[in-house]
Chains A and B, each alone.
Chain A
Amino acid sequence: MRIQDIRKMFPALSQTVYGKPLVYFDNAATSQRPETVVRKMESLALGTNANIHRAVHKLAADATEEYESTRDAVKEYINAATREEIVFTSGTTASINLVAFSYGEVFVGEGDEIIVSEAEHHSNIVPWQMLCERKHATLKVLGVDDEGHLKTQELESLITERTKLVAVTHISNVLGIVNPVKDIVKVCHSKGCPVLVDGAQGIVHEEVDVQDLDCDFYAFSGHKIYAATGTGVLYGKKKWLDQMVPYQGGGEMIHSVSFSGTTYAPLPGKFEAGTQNINAVPTLKPAIEFLKLLRDSELVDGCKDVEDCLGRSFASLRMTRGIKVFGVPRGTEGKAPIYSFVVEGAHHEDLALILDKMGIAVRSGQMCAEPLMDRFGVTGMIRVSLAPYNTVEEVEYFAEALTKAINMLV
């Protein structure tokens, strides 16, 4: 399979903006959606639309089947031990907030500690800050070095007997470096501390096996892996989910309700209160099928060519135009095609505005990672993030456009 075959599956990619062909390089924010996903959304909304689990009628049975078979598909895709360990949420942020509350309520008390890394997205910082404030606990930070690597060697000494959880990103949305989460989990577990992995970017670029990683929680969003927006997953080991308190109360999450007390539904219903995103969650099925297609070796080679081409462009612009790219991998370390950079003398916003007018969509700003921006002493960066539908021609056009933009500004 070739990149052109993939492109054909995405109607949005053939549009023009300001009269120029769209070059969509903001995939780390959200990916475009393939036709299979859009068709699924359509058939769910126009056909199989009924509330799930309770009613006995045919449509409700079909909708329930669509929803629950998605749980099986996700379970199989990330190799969870049981389907009860897959909780549907509205996205990574909601998944992390769920853990911060439900795990925090039970396991975190005054004087305890939570550890996050300096490279985290705000969504993997703020819920923990809120928890620490609520429980009078302390938030500790694992730093990153000048190249953007987590200082994992410092992790062991950072963990104390009061550390109740380590929350770390699989792949930083700014740096793109694949963090050694399996090793991190080993270190944490040796100290008796569970680990939550923010997989918002990890699920996109890695073949995630939660049992192999042995992490305790893995959180990700649907919209970055080509599924509908407003979908997300929390994987949690059953032993934790069983002990955690419900996050929200309401319909579906109960076993029996009376005014003298309520008992909760078994997993995963306990964490899925209220009507779920029934018309969107099943889009995870075609999305997962699409992810599997991407493992095609010819396509993988094609994508590698695109990344290499971008790497060469950055290398030449580094020499001639003072570009600095953050998150440079070393040795055999994995790097997702997420490239954040700054240009000496040119503001990130100006660059992004000019690129936009040339039809190129990139992200600029703090990218929801203000502490990381502070770490590198910048007010913001430009980010280019690729998907398997991006071509060498697009990268070449981008390099030309970027050079032109820099010349206008500097």
Chain B
Amino acid sequence: MLTLEEAKKAVVEDFSMYDEWLDKYEYLIELGKNLEPYPEEDKTDDKLIKGCQSRVWLDSKVEEGKVFFKADSDAIITKGIISLLISVYSGRTPEEIADDDFGFISEIGLKENLSPTRANGLVSMIEKIKELARESIGSKASTDDVLTAEDAKTLAPLYDNVVLALKQVYDPEIPVNIYDLGLIYELIINKKHEAFIKMTFTAPTCPMADEVLAEVKASVADVPGITACEVELTFEPPWDQSMLSEEARLELGLD
């Protein structure tokens, strides 16, 4: 996957191929027509972006710490524009999106060349994308909130139970659970009792990665009292044997 800067550069380059504005519109129309279908049942008012002459729906989900967008519009050029934004910003971390200045929009001339009403629509789209990204940071950021003694008391057993749940998930190749293997780098439960897990695999090429991640998510989410679970995959730092727990070392006969 391209980095955010690379993706923006690619869009600017694509647009620079067209001198005529009608050709740029042809390109946006094409993008709009090829945008992944958006479910009719998700065309609800809370997904509708205000400030556009046409109707635009934008929705997001967070998976493994990345924000993914889907969108639709009843006007095809607008749909092309939102498709362009999604192609650049989907799959980025919330921080990357929230901190970005979206300056490449003016580089491709979209902002100046769209009428003020339309430009407002574009501004609203960008605001909504940022808002959705910030919301997903927000839910994480609340982990930093100061916990009262009362909070700590209710959270403590939840941590124990989540650890127990993680111990039920086994590495597909090694007969040791992922917790004792040291694959869990971070475990945070916020005041809303949402669990955030940062984890790794013994090797970046693990063929069962998706299944394991899904299993982690499902078993943690099943813990009574836990309201949601997000799992983020990282290979920084890379895993090595020193991360094994005492029990795991015994189990594997390493000592």
Contact = CB atoms under 8 A, between A and B. Distances in A.
Task: Indicate, yes or no, whether A interacts with B.
Answer: yes
B53 A364 contact: yes
B22 A408 contact: yes
Nearest to A347: B75
A108 B77 CA distance: 48
A409 B76 contact: yes
Given A347-B75, A347-B76, A349-B75, A408 B53 contact: no
Contacts of A409: 29, 76
A349 B118 CA distance: 9
B25 A349 contact: no
B26 interface: yes
Contacts of B75: 347-350
A18 B115 CA distance: 13
A379 interface: yes
Contact of A353 (B26, B55, B74, B77): B77
B74 A347 contact: yes
B21 A349 contact: no
B54 interface: yes
A398 to B, nearest CB: 16
A67 to B, nearest CB: 33
A379 B54 CA distance: 8
A210 B75 CA distance: 44
Interface string B113-139: 111011000000000000000000000
A379 B114 contact: no
A380 B25 contact: no
A357 interface: yes
Given A353-B115, A356-B115, A409-B76, A347 B54 contact: yes
Interface in A330-355: 347-350, 353-354
Contacts of A365: 53, 117
Contacts of A379: 54-55, 74
A102 B78 CA distance: 44
B25 A357 contact: yes
Given A347-B54, A364-B53, A380-B53, A353 B76 contact: no
Which of B75, B76, B114 has the most CB atoms of chain A within a 10 A radius of its CB? Answer: B75
A354 B25 contact: yes
7 contacts: A347-B75, A348-B75, A349-B78, A350-B77, A364-B53, A408-B29, A409-B29
Which 4 pairs between the two chains have the least Cβ-Cβ distance? A347-B75, A357-B21, A349-B75, A349-B54
